[in-house]
């Protein structure tokens, strides 16, 4: 059992529930060590019924309960939530933020305290325990705080520790990446339908192809180009299809997608900080 520490999830949408559910499924803590908050009472009823955790609409109560505070609210709600709870935050509490576009320094300045803060960027496959997450430490966070955050994120997938200046790249790659892959699955499915497969069969084959290919990269640790070469034979079907993909620009399109999403994440970070009336010294 990792956590005798008590954990408060401030905001219990899909990602908040995925994280607390991951901890419980991995048996890293017990339901009585978790409290979840939300403004929607019906949502808390659902979470309590499913997971057996403590729930409340009172953020003050949740912060008083916790050793670790996990901020899972929407970015536009950040200033209101931090204004509400900052007087309740104790110096010893670890703050973990999954709020996109908000830096650790921003949160430190807003609460006016030297709490350890860890910023994380999970993605939506956390709901099925297959997240790809990035993590960075704030100024006052130490190795112990990193280990706690790594365990929480590791319960729902893979996690990489990075410098904070790379978190917008994580947003552009793995944060937005599922949408790119959904489009690939949809396009492969449509190709199968165009060539005569029933849609339900084409969807299953396309989905399993993407899943299996990703698993092969992860488990063999081979470079994707090496694995690609293993399924191309001289004059065969695959090499001709690859030629078509290269001529159509699939590779540069995906690279540009990550670049565009990263740049947009940086723009949104600046916008959100101004919207929340929070500014870094460099602004």
CA distances from 125 to 120, 169, 188 (A): 15, 18, 20
Shared-domain flag, residues 219 and 160: no
223 part of a folded domain: yes
117-121 and 131-137 beta bridge pairing: antiparallel
Please check the confidence at residue 101 and state whether its pLDDT lies above 90. Answer: no
Shared-domain flag, residues 44 and 179: no
Shared-domain flag, residues 179 and 139: no
pLDDT of residue 283: 43
**Of 281 and 208, the one with more pLDDT:** 208
Residue 182 has which token pair?
């959904």
Shared-domain flag, residues 160 and 183: no
**Of 270 and 257, the one with more pLDDT:** 257
Identify the domain boundary among 137, 167, 197: 167
Please check the confidence at residue 138 and state whether its pLDDT lies above 90. Answer: yes
CATH number of the domain bearing residue 163: 3.40.50.720
Measured distance CA(34)–CA(116) in Å, rounded: 20
CATH number of the domain bearing residue 202: 1.10.3730.10
Measured distance CA(212)–CA(214) in Å, rounded: 5
Please check the confidence at residue 259 and state whether its pLDDT lies above 50. Answer: yes
Measured distance CA(16)–CA(81) in Å, rounded: 15
Identify the domain boundary among 110, 145, 167: 167
Strand partners of residue 10: 37, 71
Identify the domain boundary among 134, 151, 167: 167
Residue 128 has which token pair?
């099925």
CB of 137 closer than 8 Å to CB of 187 = no
Shared-domain flag, residues 28 and 70: yes
Measured distance CA(116)–CA(142) in Å, rounded: 7
Shared-domain flag, residues 95 and 233: no
Would you call 134 exposed, middle or buried from its count of C-beta atoms within 10 A (0-12, 13-18, 19+)? buried
Shared-domain flag, residues 142 and 16: yes
Shared-domain flag, residues 99 and 145: yes
Shared-domain flag, residues 119 and 213: no
Q: What is the pLDDT of residues 161-179, one digit of tens each?
A: 999 999 999 999 999 999 9
Measured distance CA(204)–CA(241) in Å, rounded: 21
Average pLDDT value over all residues in the chain: 92
- Choose among 47, 50, 41, 56: nearest CA to 16: 47
CB of 95 closer than 8 Å to CB of 116 = yes
Domain with 122, as residue range(s), is: 7-167
Shared-domain flag, residues 197 and 250: yes
Q: What is the pLDDT of residues 80-100, one digit of tens each?
A: 999 999 999 999 999 999 988
Shared-domain flag, residues 182 and 147: no
Q: Is the dihedral of CA 219, 220, 223, 229 positive or negative?
A: negative
270 part of a folded domain: no
Measured distance CA(8)–CA(28) in Å, rounded: 15
Measured distance CA(172)–CA(176) in Å, rounded: 5
Classify 78 as helix, strand or coil. Answer: helix
267 part of a folded domain: no
Shared-domain flag, residues 127 and 20: yes
Q: What is the pLDDT of residues 30-48, one digit of tens each?
A: 999 999 999 999 999 999 9
């Amino acid at each position: 059992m990792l956590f005798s520490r008590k954990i408060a999830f401030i905001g219990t949408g899909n990602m908040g529930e995925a994280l607390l559910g991951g901890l419980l499924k991995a048996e890293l803590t017990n339901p009585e060590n978790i409290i979840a908050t939300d403004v929607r009472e019906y949502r808390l009823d659902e979470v309590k019924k499913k997971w057996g955790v403590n729930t409340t609409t009172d953020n003050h109560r949740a912060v008083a309960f916790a050793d670790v505070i996990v901020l899972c609210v929407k970015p536009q709600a950040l200033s209101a939530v931090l204004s509400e709870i900052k007087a309740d935050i104790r110096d010893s509490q670890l703050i973990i933020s999954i709020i996109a576009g908000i830096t650790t320094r921003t949160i430190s300045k807003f609460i006016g305290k030297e709490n350890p803060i860890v910023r994380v960027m999970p993605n939506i496959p956390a709901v099925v325990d297959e997240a790809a997450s990035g993590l960075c430490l704030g100024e006052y966070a130490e190795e112990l705080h990193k280990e706690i955050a790594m365990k929480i994120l590791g319960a729902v997938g893979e996690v990489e520790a990075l410098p904070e200046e790379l978190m917008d790249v994580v947003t552009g790659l793995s944060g937005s990446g599922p949408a790119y892959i959904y489009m690939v699955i949809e396009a492969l499915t449509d190709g199968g339908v165009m060539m005569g497969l029933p849609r339900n069969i084409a969807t299953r084959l396309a989905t399993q192809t993407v899943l299996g290919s990703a698993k092969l990269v992860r488990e063999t640790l081979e470079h994707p180009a090496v694995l690609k070469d293993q399924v191309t034979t001289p004059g065969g079907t695959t090499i001709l299809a690859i030629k078509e993909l290269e001529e159509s620009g699939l590779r540069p399109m995906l690279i540009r997608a990550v670049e565009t999403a990263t740049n947009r994440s940086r723009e949104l970070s600046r916008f959100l900080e101004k919207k929340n009336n929070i500014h870094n010294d460099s602004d």
